[in-house]
Structure 1
Amino acid sequence: MLMWRLLARPEEPRIYGVGFAIRSQMVQQHNLAPKAISECLMTVRIPITRDRHLTLISVYASTITSTDDDKAIFYTQLDRTIQAVLANDKLVVLGDFHARVGKDYRLCEGIIRRHGIGNCNANGQLLLGLCVEHKLVVTNTISQLPKRQKTTWRHLRSKHWHTLDYVLTRARGDVRTTRSMPGADDCWTEHRLLISRLSVTTLRPPRRAPDSEPHQRFDCSKLRNPQVAQNYKGACERHLAHPADAVGQATVEHQWTTFRNAMTRAAEETLANTIKKRQDWFDENDATISLFIETKRQAHLTLENQPTAAKKCAHKKKSCQSPSAAFDLPARP
């Protein structure tokens, strides 16, 4: 896993921070590079098809105790970030908004669905205004789930659970379900992890072209023969004794290349490539198996020509006969 995170400036207290945890293989395949907007916003663009991308925006919003100026600055930056996303891209905005959107789906039809909880607060009104402007859907309210799978934060004094973390998307069909993990609240924290299952798949990288020549291995078991070992030693000494290879003047890479090529040429002269030996269990019983198959074939032809009850019983007996009765199979380890 690779983690990107953005810290505040050294002279300021480190209160905010956002980041992405992305699988290392995906980062290497698609050359992903998250873009930091501020200490509260970060984006990453992931290819899902040849001409479409998935844009993720990680958010850590201002708290309810922040000033109105700080909230205005945050939502202005978030608004500009969403506007910069291409219209053809799939958009997912996720993070801790420190807001409660409530359950009044009639107030914002199409933004909040029927399965919200709680009441709306001041930060929730700012978030709903952003969703209405950009036509974003609060996916936390689309699925009918138990209350413990909807809430993400517990109040320190009242011990009541609320929903402060959200996953927003442009299209309802991009998200299957969004729910919290109740079991994660046992880790000495008042937060729960939020999981959102998307209906999109990332673009698979092109397959690497196979090597033109198959990889060969030398049969090193032949070195157990003293004569072969002596011949290999002489070949190595002969290939390494080149006047042009001035070890004192050559670089480390050149010395390694010279040594590798000498060992390879010596092995080609004295050692052969290994030959894969796969023992076939039926080789030793080929004649018995052929007789067994021919008996079953004759029973089948007899049944086809004369479909009587007796012929049917004979055919069934031949077909159900165990092969181990006809020949000896190797014992299983």
Structure 2
Amino acid sequence: MASHPTSETNRLRKSIKSLGSDGFTDNDLDTKWITISGSVRGTCGLCLSLGEDKSFLIPLARYKVDITALQEMRWKGCDIYSDKRRKADIYYSCAEEQGSYGVGIVVRGNLRKSVMAWIPVNERICVVRMKGTFYNTCIVCAYAPTNDADGMFKDTFHDQLDATLDQCPKHDAKVILGDFNAKIGRERYQGIKGTQSKHNTSTDNAERLINFAASRQLIVSSTCFPHKNIHKGTWRSPDKRTVNQIDHVLVDSRHASNILDVRSYRYAEDFSDHYPVIAKVRARISNAKRDKQKEERGCNIEAWRSVEVASAYASEVSRKLQSIQANLPIEEHWKQCAGALTSAATEVLGPKQRRPRKEWFDEQCRLALQKKHEARQRWNNAKKTRGAQSIYEEYRVARRLAVNLCRAKKRHFEDSEMRKVELLSGSSDTRKFYQHIKRQKEGYVPPTIFCNDASGNLLENVRPNVAHRSLPPLAPVEDLEEAAPPSAAEIKAAIRKLKRNKSPGSDGIHAELLKCAGDDT
């Protein structure tokens, strides 16, 4: 099994300066953990290539889950995907070539800034370290081989899992979430597992898991809480007749009392053949207060192409500049001038329009998916009744209609985009033409947050390496004579030479805003 190099990213959060109780709320005392795994089918699920829908984040918000462990993601590489709209970060560790396996951890809400480190071990194991009040917590996501796999393959997996726990700090709390493909029986193992398992006898994978837990002083918390059998099963067979308990939650014995409950939930979404296993954890995660920053969307620069809009913008800028005093210091004078330009651009040009993530997804698609979810819920409620088969047929029809509708909408949108590219090829706007070509060719590319050194090597400890990076010495500056201030004609000539469609500087003023301000300005 090929292993990814261990690395920490510059995504590590700022250290918490104060560990008092001022930065916490009552909700911080009850944190939820969840593990979802298994093969995926349908249009929205875990087995998606980067850039497609991340609809599996929707039920996480519905269950109010803070930290999620994902298995069998089948993505490519190891990176961090941030979904700002759903306020979730996905730390995934998959194979270099997209295919089988792959694990990941999703951190939602305010807990995102409590992540201290992330270690992608390989396509079956990854670790996220969270900052806490009295102790930190290492969350390990694991995906074990099946029970029919070769014994050496299983030994290699447990050796790697054991080595991963050795890398975790000694005084951190360890929580292991994952699909272990282990049916644990009701045999008595004092201090290692409970007797509330769904199965009577243990399989080979279960015995290996129990031996591993005993060697590391772990407790299988998923077998310690009494529940109905329907709340113990975590995986259902394709024929929907067999349900097994193969997903488990392990915690070190010192912090076993923090686990309040572990059970599986049956849900309406069908993106996995595994039921989500939710564990309620009583642990205080450090949650420092942070001031909310107002999002700056910028102004719609493309609107200046209209003659009427450009004229209105120039007159508005001239009106705002007339109210500025001329005898101010140079820094204060430029600050007020820049404020006049940006405020006039916001009022006249309007805010920058944001492209939706899925332009083809409309209200019709949303209603079709809602009908599919409602049919799925009715079928779940009517199981083991006489009318279950007819309700299941209604669900199949609703699911087929929703899938076909979304597929047709997406295909029609892609065809329209290609027609736009064809029309732009004969126009004079080559910039927009190449933008559409690049968008169709590359698709979605997640933002990378890794950091390389001067030689191109991936930095393991980002902050110390960047902070102590030595810069070449600057050449001495000779004494220069004070130059005369530029004339108005020189300033106008310099503004005319500015190139359009370029990113603004630190002041946020585009070149188009200066060009369209008018000669009188």
Indicate the TM-score class for this superposition, using the shorter chain for normalisation.
0.5 to 0.7
- 1: CA distance, partners of 2:126 / 2:206: 21
- 2: CA distance, partners of 1:93 / 1:244: 61
The size of the alignment, in residue pairs, is 226
Q: Does 1:14 align with 2:99?
A: yes
Matches within 5 A, 1:1-333: 1-10=88-97, 14-27=99-112, 29-49=113-133, 51-104=134-187, 106=188, 108-118=189-199, 119-156=201-238, 159-171=241-253, 172-183=256-267, 187=270, 189-206=272-289, 236-237=321-322, 239=324, 258-260=337-339
1:79 to 1:240, Cα distance in 2 relative to 1, 3 A: same
Displacement of 1:243 after TM fit? 12
Q: Which residue of 2 aligns with 1:276?
A: none
Displacement of 1:158 after TM fit? 8.0
Whether the aligned pair in 2 keeps the contact of 1:236 and 1:263 (CA below 8 Å) is no
Q: Which residue of 1 aligns with 2:377?
A: none
Whether the aligned pair in 1 keeps the contact of 2:265 and 2:276 (CA below 8 Å) is yes
Let me know the Cα RMSD of the aligned residues.
3.1
- 2: CA distance, partners of 1:132 / 1:111: 6
- 2: CA distance, partners of 1:181 / 1:103: 22
**Unaligned stretches of 5+ residues in structure 1:** 209-232, 246-253, 265-333
DSSP 3-state at the match of 1:190: coil
1:237 to 1:161, Cα distance in 2 relative to 1, 3 A: same
Return the TM-score normalized by structure 1.
0.60
Deviations 1:149-185 (A, max 9, x none): 011012346822111100000132020010000235x
Whether the aligned pair in 2 keeps the contact of 1:240 and 1:262 (CA below 8 Å) is no
Whether the aligned pair in 1 keeps the contact of 2:320 and 2:340 (CA below 8 Å) is no
Whether the aligned pair in 2 keeps the contact of 1:151 and 1:161 (CA below 8 Å) is yes
1:40 to 1:262, Cα distance in 2 relative to 1, 3 A: closer
Identity among equivalent positions (%) equals: 23
- 2: CA distance, partners of 1:57 / 1:114: 24
Return the TM-score normalized by structure 2.
0.40
1:234 to 1:165, Cα distance in 2 relative to 1, 3 A: closer
- 2: CA distance, partners of 1:257 / 1:60: 59
DSSP 3-state at the match of 2:165: helix
- 2: CA distance, partners of 1:188 / 1:206: 35
1:62 to 1:205, Cα distance in 2 relative to 1, 3 A: same
Q: Which residue of 1 aligns with 2:65?
A: none
- 1: CA distance, partners of 2:238 / 2:320: 78
**Unaligned stretches of 5+ residues in structure 2:** 1-87, 292-317, 344-521
Whether the aligned pair in 2 keeps the contact of 1:140 and 1:178 (CA below 8 Å) is yes
Letter of the 1:141 partner, please give it. Answer: T
DSSP 3-state at the match of 2:160: helix
1:157 to 1:121, Cα distance in 2 relative to 1, 3 A: farther
Q: Which residue of 2 aligns with 1:309?
A: none
1:136 to 1:261, Cα distance in 2 relative to 1, 3 A: same
- 2: CA distance, partners of 1:176 / 1:182: 20
DSSP 3-state at the match of 1:77: helix
Displacement of 1:23 after TM fit? 1.4
- 2: CA distance, partners of 1:234 / 1:8: 60
- 1: CA distance, partners of 2:195 / 2:320: 81
Displacement of 1:64 after TM fit? 1.9
Whether the aligned pair in 1 keeps the contact of 2:114 and 2:287 (CA below 8 Å) is no
Displacement of 1:235 after TM fit? 7.5
- 1: CA distance, partners of 2:252 / 2:276: 22
Displacement of 1:114 after TM fit? 2.1
1:235 to 1:20, Cα distance in 2 relative to 1, 3 A: closer
DSSP 3-state at the match of 2:146: coil
Letter of the 2:127 partner, please give it. Answer: T
Displacement of 1:7 after TM fit? 2.0
Structure possessing the higher relative contact order (Cα contacts under 8 Å, 6 or more residues apart): 2
Letter of the 1:154 partner, please give it. Answer: R
1:257 to 1:125, Cα distance in 2 relative to 1, 3 A: farther
